[in-house]
């Protein structure tokens, strides 16, 4: 069956344009190296996964999917050592890039807070330029951490605390204990 001329003149260019757009978007979104981190709770049960991938723009896309956590906001960071010894995960030490005297919000390992829904699940997608995957695979690895409480990023307005945030807030963002951890092995 032969298509009318007008339909052919429209269908073919539109099809080619869509194909070209699909190929272009694939090239733009092409990513480099990737990693997947299994998250465990204090009982050692797997509760989800965090995927990280480097983009061609020099950033890292982070996607977290977790379950079995208490509803509400939780601090979400990368810690300096790739060890997740339960039940408190203190073996992971402090945040990646944490140096003495540096405010919490300036830590390389800080990321956006994780919002857990009433059903105990959370999904977070964030893009960061604070680290690359090689930074996380240093000599002792790193650990992705979900904290028990919300992270205030050491942002305490003067009207609440005239002398500024205390030492605890400056170091930790008041996000509390550690609820889940995932090891990133040394490279």
Q: Longest C-alpha distance within the chain, in Å?
A: 82
Predicted TM-score (pTM) of this structure: 0.77
pLDDT digit string, tens, across residues 77-119? 999 999 999 999 999 998 887 665 555 566 788 899 999 999 9
Go through the domains of the chain in sequence order and give each one's CATH number: 31-184 (2.60.40.200)
Helices marked H in the chain: 5-28, 133-136, 167-172
pLDDT digit string, tens, across residues 141-187? 999 999 998 887 666 667 767 777 666 666 666 778 899 999 999 98
Distance from C-alpha of 166 to C-alpha of 154, rounded to nearest angstrom: 9
Provide the CB-side half-sphere exposure for 129 (13 A, CA).
Answer: 3
**Cβ neighbours, 10 Å, residue 102:** 14
Query: For position 32, what pLDDT does the model report?
Result: 79
Measure the CA angle with vertex 102, ends 99 and 105; round to 5°: 115
Q: DSSP assignment, residue 91?
A: G
Task: Please answer whether residues 150 and 72 qualify as being in contact, where contact means their C-beta atoms are separated by less than 8 angstroms.
Answer: yes
Query: For position 130, what pLDDT does the model report?
Result: 93
Distance from C-alpha of 131 to C-alpha of 112, rounded to nearest angstrom: 14
Query: For position 27, what pLDDT does the model report?
Result: 40
Q: Tell me the CA distances in angstroms from 113 to 8, 18, 107, 124, one per residue in order.
A: 52, 37, 14, 8
pLDDT digit string, tens, across residues 17-27? 555 544 444 34
């Amino acid at each position: 069956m032969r298509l009318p001329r007008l339909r052919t003149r429209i269908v073919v260019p539109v099809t080619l344009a869509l194909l070209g757009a699909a190929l272009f978007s694939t090239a733009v979104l092409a990513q480099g190296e990737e990693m997947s981190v299994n998250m465990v709770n204090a009982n050692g049960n797997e509760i989800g996964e965090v995927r990280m991938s480097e983009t061609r723009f020099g950033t890292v896309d982070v996607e977290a999917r977790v379950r079995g956590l208490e509803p509400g906001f939780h601090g979400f960071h990368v810690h300096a050592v790739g060890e997740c010894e339960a039940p408190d995960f203190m073996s992971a030490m402090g945040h990646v890039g944490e140096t003495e005297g540096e405010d919490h919000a300036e830590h390389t390992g800080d990321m956006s807070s994780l919002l857990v829904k009433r059903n105990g699940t959370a999904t977070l997608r964030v893009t960061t330029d604070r680290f690359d995957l090689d930074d996380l695979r240093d000599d002792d690895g790193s650990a992705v951490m979900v904290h028990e409480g919300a992270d205030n990023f050491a942002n305490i307005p003067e009207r609440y605390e005239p002398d500024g945030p205390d030492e605890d807030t400056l170091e930790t963002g008041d996000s509390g204990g550690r609820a889940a951890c995932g090891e990133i092995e040394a490279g």
